[in-house]
Amino acid sequence: MADDLARQHPGQDDVSDQFKAGQNLTDALGAYKAIKDSGGDYTFGALTTRYYHLRGTEKQAWEDGVRLYPDDVQKEIKRHIIHALTHKENGQEKPIPLSISWKDPLSPQQFVSCTYDPSGPSYAILIHGFPAPLTSRFAERRGKY
């Protein structure tokens, strides 16, 4: 994502960390339930906005940044996130942790892939050739711009 936008919102690890096992995943599921529509969909980027309580210029910068992703890419990323968050076992909610990483944001080869590791279980989303958030933590930058 353009650095002027990216400075004002969560970084790569922050985005991924919201889906870590434990309280983060529970909070992400709660945020998803709060923003999803009747069909289970949500606006791309809204989950992170809610999870990190983005407001004002932070929220606007995040929304401007996620708009850099084409609609089909947004839908694919959301599909994997929704699948992981809404996983059930024996009829009980059992969200599966997932990680998100970015590679070669300037590459002309663009794709989104998701792999499943049954040993965890966990999912890993790789976003290749698309704009990436900064690598620094949001807490280090928040409120400075």
Q: What is the pLDDT of residues 37-57, one digit of tens each?
A: 999 999 999 999 999 999 998
| Range with the poorest average pLDDT among 46-50, 67-71, 133-137 | 133-137
In a domain, 8, yes or no: yes
Number of domains in the chain: 1
List residues bridging with 112 in a β-sheet. Answer: 127
In a domain, 114, yes or no: no
State the pLDDT confidence band at 111, using cuts at 50, 70 and 90. very high
Distances (CA, A) of 86 to 51, 54, 95, 134: 17, 24, 6, 28
In a domain, 46, yes or no: yes
In a domain, 123, yes or no: no
In a domain, 139, yes or no: no
pLDDT at 103: 94
Query: For the residues 23-49, what does the mean pLDDT come to?
Result: 96
pLDDT at 7: 62
How far from the centroid of its chain's Cα atoms is residue 119's Cα? 22
At residue 9, does pLDDT exceed 50?
A: yes
In a domain, 127, yes or no: no
In a domain, 121, yes or no: no
Residue 31: strand, helix, or coil: helix
Residue 109: strand, helix, or coil: coil
Q: Read off the pTM.
A: 0.88
In a domain, 80, yes or no: yes
State the pLDDT confidence band at 1, using cuts at 50, 70 and 90. very low
